[in-house]
Amino acid sequence: MNLKEINLSGSEKLKELPDLSKATNLEVLLLRGCSMLTSVHPSVFSLIKLEKLDLYGCGSLTILSSHSICSLSYLNLERCVNLREFSVMSMNMKDLRLGWTKVKELPSSFEQQSKLKLLHLKGSAIERLPSSFNNLTQLLHLEVSNCSNLQTIPELPPLLKTLNAQSCTSLLTLPEISLSIKTLSAIDCKSLETVFLSSAVEQLKKNRRQVRFWNCLNLNKDSLVAIALNAQIDVMKFANQHLSPPSQDLVQNYDDYDANHRSYQVVYVYPGSNVPEWLEYKTTNAYIIIDLSSGPPFPFLGFIFSFVIGEYLHTDTKGRLEVSITISDDESEGNQDSVRMYIDFEGRKIESDHVCVVYDQRCSSFLSSKVKNQTRLKIKVTMGVPDYALPQGYNRGVRFGVSPISTSAYESFIQQMKLRNSISQFH
C-alpha cells in the first residue's frame, strides 16, 4: 500500500484499530481525541516507516508498550489521563510528550534515545527521572512543571536550553545548571532548598536570559546569594552587549515588544525584600532622582533596574506584570514621559516579597535618549496591578533601584570578578 497518512482524530467512538501491517509505507498516524480507544494494535509497532504517532487525549488508553519503532521521531501521549505503563522506544525519537499521564517512571532503556530534543512531562505522575542524562546529548528542552511527585532532577545534559523545574512541589534540589540553559522557570516549587550554580568565572561564559524562582520560599541562604550573583553577572553582561548610541528614534524600533519582550531582556527573580546593594541608586519612596552631571560623558549608556515586588493575589491573564517607568525633568514633575516594561509570571499569585533584577533594551534606550539632553532625572516606578489583585491595606509604593551601566563600568566589574575568583582559589 502507498498510504502515507491516516487521520482518525476526533473519532470518539473508535474502540480499536484494524491490522495495519500491510500499510508498509505509513509515515503518520493521527488519533487525537479518540477517547474510547483502549489499545493500539500491535501491527502499528511493526511499521518501519512510521515517523509520527499522535495519541493526544486518548483518555481510555492505559498501556502503550513495544520493543522499538526504529523510525518513530514524534510520539504524543499528552492528556492520555489513564496511561500508566509506557515503554515505546525509538533510536530516532526527537519529541516525546507524556504530559498529564499517570506514568510514574520512564523505561530503563530510555537513555538510548540519544537524538531526543524535547521531553515533555508536565503534570504527569512521574516520580523519578533516569539517574543520568549523559547519553541524551541532543536534549534542548525539559518540561517537568506540575510534576508534584518529582523530588530530584539528575545531572542535566550539556546542550539543554530550557528547564521548566514550575509547581514541582516535592522538588528539593536542582543540580548544577549547565551553561547552555538560557531559560530556567521554577515557580511554586515550595520545597526547593538548594540550587547549585557554577563559579563566577564560569558564569561569565554563559548567556542566561530568564531565571525565575517565583514563590520558591524555602531556598537556603547560600542558594539565594548564588542566584543574586548570577543575576548581577548576567544583566551586566547582556547590558554591555546591547549598549547603543542614545537616540530619540531607538524607542520607536520596538514595535514587536508586546509579543516578544523576552527577546529584549535579561530577567532574574528570586525571594527577597531588599534591592541589591550594588545598584547605584536605591529608594523606598517609589521615585529616584539620578544626577549624571558630575560624571564623565559616556557615548554609550544603559540602565539596569531592580524592583522589590510585593504580595499579589493574582496577575493578569497574560501571565505578566506591567511595570511603568515615568521620568520627569525635576521634582515638580514637569515634562513627564513614560515607558512600559513586562515581567513574566506564569503563576496565579505572588506569595511574598521578591527581588527582580532586569535589563530591558527598550526601557534602557528610552532613558538613554533622555539623559542625552538632561543629566538630572526623576524616575518613578508603578506596577500595573488592579486594586482587586492586592491584599487589603497593601502599600502601592515600589522599592526599586537603578544603575547606569557603561562599557568601562562593565570592564571594571569583570576585573573584580576575576580577582575574587583568584583569591578564592588561593584560599
Of all helices (H) and strands (E), which one includes residue 187?
Answer: none
Sequence-distant (≥ 6) Cβ neighbours of residue 416 within 8 angstroms: none
- In this structure, what C-alpha cell is assigned to residue 174? 536542582
Picking from 77-86, 120-129, 175-184, 388-397, which range would have the lowest pLDDT averaged per residue? 388-397
- In this structure, what C-alpha cell is assigned to residue 9? 482524530
Residue 111: pLDDT band with limits 50, 70, 90: confident
Among candidate residues 184, 185, 188, the one with its CA nearest the CA of residue 218? 188
Residue 367: pLDDT band with limits 50, 70, 90: confident
Percent of the chain with pLDDT over 90: 39
On average, the pLDDT of the chain sits at 84
Picking from 21-35, 204-218, 314-328, 366-380, which range would have the lowest pLDDT averaged per residue? 314-328
> How far is 402 from 327, CA to CA, in rounded Å?
13
Picking from 84-88, 186-190, 245-249, 370-374, which range would have the lowest pLDDT averaged per residue? 245-249
Residue 334: pLDDT band with limits 50, 70, 90: low
Residue 112: pLDDT band with limits 50, 70, 90: confident
- Residue in the structure block whose three cell numbers are 516606578: 381
> How far is 85 from 89, CA to CA, in rounded Å?
13
9, 48, 138, 197 from 73: Cα distances, Å? 19, 12, 13, 33
Of all helices (H) and strands (E), which one includes residue 344?
Answer: strand 337-344
Q: Is 204 exposed, middle or buried (0-12, 13-18, 19+ CB in 10 A)?
A: middle
pLDDT digit string (tens) for 38-86? 999 999 989 999 999 999 999 999 999 876 788 999 999 999 999 999 8
> How far is 339 from 325, CA to CA, in rounded Å?
5
pLDDT digit string (tens) for 235-273? 999 988 888 655 544 545 788 988 899 999 999 999 999
Q: What is the mean pLDDT of residues 139-156?
A: 88
Among candidate residues 157, 51, 32, 130, the one with its CA nearest the CA of residue 94? 51
Tell me the whole-structure pTM to 2 decimals: 0.83
Per-domain boundaries in the chain: 1-95, 250-415
